[in-house]
Structure 1
Amino acid sequence: MARLFYCVVCPACLAFNLGKLKQFLGVLGLLDQISHYCSANVFLSLIQRKEFWLTSLTSSNDRAEGRWMLDNWLDGLTDEHDMTAERVGAIRGNAQAALNENYALGICFSEESDLLSQWRAYSDDATGFSVTFNREMLQRRYARADFLASPALIQIAYGAAHSPQVARADQWLRLAFFDDAADCQIDNNVTQFLEAEFSSDLSQRRRLAAALLFSIKSPAFCEEKEWRILHYSSLNALRNVEFREHKTVISPYVRLPFEREAIIGVTLGPCNDTPEDVVEALLKANGVHAWVRKSAASYVSR
């Protein structure tokens, strides 16, 4: 019977033991983990290059990306007694301008590593892979709260009516986009946060408020349990920006390196015919210690 652990003295065995322990804890679900669903081509790139591509979030499968919270917020404003259609229209124009002037670039993850809806939507109709990462490692590297300055890992909130996230976003949006923001009734704790995080410059406040729209999604997507690395910036301010063709449209992206130790597992999609031993050999050749398994979902690709 093969041994799970070896000696704890020599560096080679110590590294091997740590890798085995990480695999063991990951399989048991005892590590905080998030998974990225992708095609076979993207999977190869992740393993070989150890880098994420932060791409345009408005090109995702969710056509309301970044706009769901804004539309719901504006709809709510029309019910307030002092809100005329003209005033709501002006606020909409200011918010839309902030969205048009900047790009939301990101990469998305799920707390679930084997979810059929994710396989169908993001993994070439279940023929790809999900790559599972140690969330704590990614959070340490991308922990900034200000995703205007650099990419940050954030958890997505699903905007159920009257939820704390939606209520907080409502106050942020009022302070940024109301023409009489100084007169808004804003909670003192939120005001202190805004004074610390928001620039006194109006355009900067509007840019951060617009970025926050990409942290809240419709409750219809709650099954995804999504996290994302988000970077919100004007095109001119993006460092090391590159461009790609996607669905006949040219769009920007940036590369973001990660440590190979952040990868803790790989799941093959329900319709992925790659032998597991081939995936294991690929991981070993690229210095990645991770568990490999086949999806438990029953699905036949169209």
Structure 2
Amino acid sequence: MIKSEMPASEDAAKSVADVAEAFTPGGADDAPHLQTGSALRSIASTAVDRFVQPEQAPRRLFHYTSSAGLLGILDSNELRFSDPFFLNDGSEVFYGADMFRTHLEERLKGFGSSTIDFANRLVERLYHDRSSGRGLIFCLSEEGNLLNQWRDYGKDIVPYSIEFEMQELVFEGEFPALIFKMVYDHEAQTSVIAEMVDKYIIEIQRLWSLIENDADLQNRTIMAMSADISHVLTQFKNSAFAPEREWRLVTYPYWFNDKAPDFRTSSLGVVPYVSRGPKGGAKGGGLLPIVAVGVGPSPHGKTSQLGLSLLLHRYGYGQVPTWYSTIPAR
């Protein structure tokens, strides 16, 4: 066993318990609401801040969707939070976890069996969290007229771009959400993960003498570390998707009080989602804070825009301006 370079203390023991408690799923009253950047302030999230320039969420962001998606949002007056397994890059669920495991395995060479065993249990828990405890997401973009997005959502149909006023997008107390910008830069991702790995190895060594004979505290510590890491890895995506310029609203399954998912159709067949609406509605009448809606490239742009205007009027958004893209696309 590798001895800790830092002496064990009551403060250190308390820090373990505090961290474990912080990441134990609890009620929504204790969960953060709409926030910018790294929401969980500990080893993993501070590593992000070192290598990824923090940014305030833009005042307005855009959600691309299909005709069916637009109808669903307006008819329910709710946003649809999707499981990332069913989005355009299903591999992203394990993308960051694979990087973390690779770096950790390389870094652990030469360490004692206790450190290696604990680290392996952490990795196992991380993959469990990425599989069953991953966040549900609502995708947004900094730009509302991107050709790659039109192509993704306009396969044989007319796509739409919904512009939201982000500061007015406040959810009910039982439905908190976090917001952050996706990290595509592979060098930044690698730097964040390398620092996380180094710091977690140090932390494992520092705490081992305190948790060595307490299986429950070991498990809680592993859960705490994994939750922190998993939250950060949710922000990582393959650099090939950088043109999307994506931000995300993210929530977690245990914030839904076991709400059963609904289903929609997609190119993958039927896929699950969970929906929620805004609190009160700053625009009055409980409406979503929609600023404008655009129609994707189409040879019938003006006709599609007219239909869109009629649809918005039907659902109480008659004052919301519309537009159509003039990007030449077939």
Bin the TM-score by the shorter chain: 0.5 to 0.7
Q: Within 2, Cα distance between the matches of 1:158 and 1:142?
A: 28
Q: Within 2, Cα distance between the matches of 1:245 and 1:286?
A: 21
Q: Which residue of 2 aligns with 1:254?
A: 274
Mapping of 1:120-159 within 5 angstroms?
Answer: 120-125=151-156, 127-138=158-169, 141=170, 150-159=176-185
Residue pair 2:73, 2:80 contacting (<8 A) in 1 also: no
Q: CA 1:83/1:223 → structure 2, altered by over 3 Å: closer, same or farther?
A: farther
| Superposed displacement of residue 204, structure 1 | 4.1
Of 258, 274, 278, which residue of structure 1 is paired with 2:307? 278
Of 167, 174, 183, which residue of structure 1 is paired with 2:205? 183
Of 289, 295, 299, which residue of structure 1 is paired with 2:325? 295
Q: Within 2, Cα distance between the matches of 1:121 and 1:254?
A: 21
**2:58 pairs with 1:36:** no
Q: Which residue of 1 aligns with 2:41?
A: none
Mapping of 1:55-134 within 5 angstroms?
Answer: 55-80=82-107, 82=109, 91-125=122-156, 127-134=158-165
Q: CA 1:80/1:203 → structure 2, altered by over 3 Å: closer, same or farther?
A: closer
Q: CA 1:173/1:66 → structure 2, altered by over 3 Å: closer, same or farther?
A: farther
Residue pair 1:126, 1:270 contacting (<8 A) in 2 also: no
**Which residue identity is paired with 1:157?**
V
Residue pair 2:122, 2:222 contacting (<8 A) in 1 also: no
Q: Percent identity?
A: 20
Q: Within 2, Cα distance between the matches of 1:120 and 1:143?
A: 33
| Superposed displacement of residue 231, structure 1 | 1.4
**2:75 pairs with 1:48:** yes
More displaced stretch, 220-229 vs 257-266: 257-266
Q: Secondary structure at the match of 1:97?
A: helix
Q: Within 2, Cα distance between the matches of 1:58 and 1:83?
A: 36
Number of aligned residue pairs: give it: 247
Q: Which residue of 1 aligns with 2:238?
A: 218
Residue pair 2:66, 2:158 contacting (<8 A) in 1 also: yes
Q: CA 1:115/1:239 → structure 2, altered by over 3 Å: closer, same or farther?
A: same
Q: CA 1:250/1:113 → structure 2, altered by over 3 Å: closer, same or farther?
A: closer
Q: CA 1:166/1:95 → structure 2, altered by over 3 Å: closer, same or farther?
A: same
**Which residue identity is paired with 1:233?**
P
Gaps of 5+ in 1: 1-30, 186-198
Residue pair 2:86, 2:271 contacting (<8 A) in 1 also: no
More displaced stretch, 55-64 vs 98-107: 98-107
Mapping of 1:263-274 within 5 angstroms?
Answer: 263-271=290-298, 273=300, 274=303
Could you list the per-position Cα deviations for residues 155-176 of structure 1 after superposition, in whole angstroms to 9, with x for gaps in the alignment?
A: 2222331x2x654455556777
Q: Within 2, Cα distance between the matches of 1:224 and 1:99?
A: 23
Q: CA 1:201/1:233 → structure 2, altered by over 3 Å: closer, same or farther?
A: farther
Q: CA 1:153/1:181 → structure 2, altered by over 3 Å: closer, same or farther?
A: same
TM-score by length of 2: 0.62
More displaced stretch, 203-212 vs 48-57: 203-212
Residue pair 1:131, 1:265 contacting (<8 A) in 2 also: yes
TM-score by length of 1: 0.68
**Which residue identity is paired with 1:285?**
R
Q: Within 1, Cα distance between the matches of 2:182 and 2:130?
A: 19
Q: Secondary structure at the match of 2:135?
A: strand
Residue pair 2:183, 2:236 contacting (<8 A) in 1 also: yes
Q: CA 1:130/1:71 → structure 2, altered by over 3 Å: closer, same or farther?
A: same
Q: Within 2, Cα distance between the matches of 1:143 and 1:171?
A: 36
Residue pair 2:92, 2:238 contacting (<8 A) in 1 also: no
